[in-house]
Amino acid sequence: MKIMVIYDSLFGNTEKIAYSITDSLVPSGNVRTFRVSHIRPDQLIGLDLLIVGSPTRAFRPTIEITGFLNKIPSTGLKGIKVVAFDTRLSNGADKKAVFTNIFTRQFGYASKPIADKLVEKGGILVVSSKGFVVKDIEGPLKAGEIERAADWAKTIVEKIKVSNE
C-alpha cells in the first residue's frame, strides 16, 4: 500500500503526531511523510492512502494546508482513500476556554474542512477525522496523544482491510 502523510506544524506538535502515525503505518506499506511546503499536488498520483493533518488556527487548517488542498485538481484524488487529523486546544473549564468554546462549537476544528476538501477532490474518506489535544498554544501534547495517534493509524489500516475483503 502506498501511503503519504502530509502535515503542517508551527510549533512541532502536529509534526509529532504525523510521525507517530507514520511509524505506526510502516508495517502496512510504503509510507512517506512530508511537511506541506515540501510536496506538490502532482506527487499524489498513484497513492492508495493520503493522510493530511494541520494545527487548528482560528478554527481552520493553516493557510499552507488550505492552499495545497486547493491546488489539487478537481478529481485529483479519485479512488484514493483519505483521512484528516488536526491538533487543537482542549476544551478546558477556565473562563478563557468557555469563551473559546462558544466559537469552537460553531466553527469547529481544522480536520473537518480538510476532510471536506479531500472528498471534494475525489477522495474516499475511510474513517472519521481525529483531533489531538495540545495543553497550550505551543504544546506540549496532552499525555497519551502520541500513542492515541499510533492506535488511530492502526484502525485506518484495519478499516481498509475490511473494505477490501
Site of interaction with ligand FMN (CB under 6 A): 9-15, 55-59, 87-89, 104, 134, 137, 139
Nearest Cα to Cα of residue 159 among 48, 60, 56, 55: 48
Q: What is the dihedral of CA 147, 148, 153, 154, to 10 degrees?
A: 80
Specify the residue, 24 or 111, whose C-beta has the smaller distance to ligand FMN.
Answer: 111
Is the CB of residue 5 less than 8 Å from the CB of residue 35?
no
Specify the residue, 81 or 130, whose C-beta has the smaller distance to ligand FMN.
Answer: 130
Give the amino acid at 2: K
Measured from the CB of residue 145, what is the shortest distance to ligand FMN in angstroms?
10
Specify the residue, 14 or 24, whose C-beta has the smaller distance to ligand FMN.
Answer: 14
> For the chain, where are the alpha helices, taking DSSP H only?
13-25, 63-71, 95-107, 111-120, 145-164
Specify the residue, 24 or 62, whose C-beta has the smaller distance to ligand FMN.
Answer: 62
Measured from the CB of residue 1, what is the shortest distance to ligand FMN in angstroms?
26
Widest CA span in the chain:
50
Measured from the CB of residue 87, what is the shortest distance to ligand FMN in angstroms?
3
Measured from the CB of residue 113, what is the shortest distance to ligand FMN in angstroms?
12
